[in-house]
Structures are given as structure tokens and as C-alpha cells.
């Protein structure tokens, strides 16, 4: 199992040309601006402030890279789909994410963080379609599961499992950053990707 608590901030980039050399292994975290992506990274690495969290969605405006060791990195992509961000800036982020995902050969997979109460929005499905066409592994994290009771969680998990059957190399799990539920399953998934 990978030691995720060893994660250290490496670099923030606003342009693809600023990325480190395209070698080693990277796993990226993506998701809507209010899905709790930064909180997931902080829980995973057992560091409260590694990824900046905020009450204001759209806080992550750059691609942030964190080193686990010399060859392995976590990548925090800008949150997408937040309406209060100016249109030009939103497009700039979308272009940055698209360029990263299409050009990065060392990318092993994407963890797509979603609020369990609003799963598989249009923009999430676009990401799934793109990943499927690119034959890229994707793991859906239904975050904020603590906001629902057990029966509701299972119902949504089942619905999402049915819908993603169309996509290759796509898995899904329940998760709660607040209650720290689902962490071992997430760590196992990422460790498998890093082995590849």
C-alpha cells in the first residue's frame, strides 16, 4: 500500500508547459467545484491543509501537484462547473483540464469526486465519456455520503452502478470526508493504479 501521508506540495501550474517531466505515475482528482475534492485529498493524505479547502466553490484555480515519492504524484485539477466564476475564466480552466488529461502520458487514472446528492450531472457524464474514449481508468467517489441515511446511500450507489455499466474501466464507491468512511477502499484503488 502507498504511504499517502508522505504527500508533499510540489508545484502549482497555470499552463501545461509548467508541468514536471512526463514520467513516473500520476493520479488526478477532478470534480465539480462544490463536491469536496480538496477535503478528499486532505483525508487521503491525513493532512488538514495540503489541498486548500474553502466555503467558496471554485477555490482551486490552478493544477496543483503533490509528490508521494520520486515517481508518484497526486494531481488536484481545478473544480469545474461553478456558475459564479466569470465565463472566460471558466473556459480557461476547462482548457487547462482538457490539455492536462489529453497530453499527460504518465496519468494512470482519474478520481471523479461527486456530491452523492447530485451524482452524474451533465458535466460528469462528459468527463466519463471522454475518459472512456481515451481508455483511461476512472473511479467515482460519491462523497458526502454522511448527508444521507444508509438506505438512500445504497439506492444512489445502485443507480450509479447501473448507469456506468456502459463505461469501461469505471468503478464507484461511497465516501465521506467528514466521517472518513470509504478511505481504505479509495487507498486500495489508487495503490492498484500506481502498481500499473
Q: Where are the domains of the chain?
A: 4-186
pLDDT in tens, the chain (196 residues): 899 999 999 999 988 999 999 999 999 999 988 899 999 999 999 999 898 765 544 445 789 999 999 999 999 998 876 544 445 545 665 778 888 988 999 999 999 999 999 999 988 898 898 888 888 999 999 999 999 999 999 999 999 999 999 898 999 999 999 999 999 999 999 999 999 6
Model confidence, pTM: 0.91
Other Cβ atoms within 10 Å of 137 Cβ, number: 19
How confident is the model at residue 85, as a pLDDT?
Answer: 47
Q: Using the structure block, give the residue that is written with the C-alpha cell 506540495.
A: 9
Backbone CA torsion sign across 124, 29, 169, 149: negative
Q: Which of 170, 163, 104, 174 is nearest to 133 (CA)?
A: 170
150/147 Cα distance (integer angstroms):
10
How confident is the model at residue 91, as a pLDDT?
Answer: 64
Domain 4-186: CATH superfamily is: P-loop containing nucleotide triphosphate hydrolases (3.40.50.300)
Amino acid at each position: 500500500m502507498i504511504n499517502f501521508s508522505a504527500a508533499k506540495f510540489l508545484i502549482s501550474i497555470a499552463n501545461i508547459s509548467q508541468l514536471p517531466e512526463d514520467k513516473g505515475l500520476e493520479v488526478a482528482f477532478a470534480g465539480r467545484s462544490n463536491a469536496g475534492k480538496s477535503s478528499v485529498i486532505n483525508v487521503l493524505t491525513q493532512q488538514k491543509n495540503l489541498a486548500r479547502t474553502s466555503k467558496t466553490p471554485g477555490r482551486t484555480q490552478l493544477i496543483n501537484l503533490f509528490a508521494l515519492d520520486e515517481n508518484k504524484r497526486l494531481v488536484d485539477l481545478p473544480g469545474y462547473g461553478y456558475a459564479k466564476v466569470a465565463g472566460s475564466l471558466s473556459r480557461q480552466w476547462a482548457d487547462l483540464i482538457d490539455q492536462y488529461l489529453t497530453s499527460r502520458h504518465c496519468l494512470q487514472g482519474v478520481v471523479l469526486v461527486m456530491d452523492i446528492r447530485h451524482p452524474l450531472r451533465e458535466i460528469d457524464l462528459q468527463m466519463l465519456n471522454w475518459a472512456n474514449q481515451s481508455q483511461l481508468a476512472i473511479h467515482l467517489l460519491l462523497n458526502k455520503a454522511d448527508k444521507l441515511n444508509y438506505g438512500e446511500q445504497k439506492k444512489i450507489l445502485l443507480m450509479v452502478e447501473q448507469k456506468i455499466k456502459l463505461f469501461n474501466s469505471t468503478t464507484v464507491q461511497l465516501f465521506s470526508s467528514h466521517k472518513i468512511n470509504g478511505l481504505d477502499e479509495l487507498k486500495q484503488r489508487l495503490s492498484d493504479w500506481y502498481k500499473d
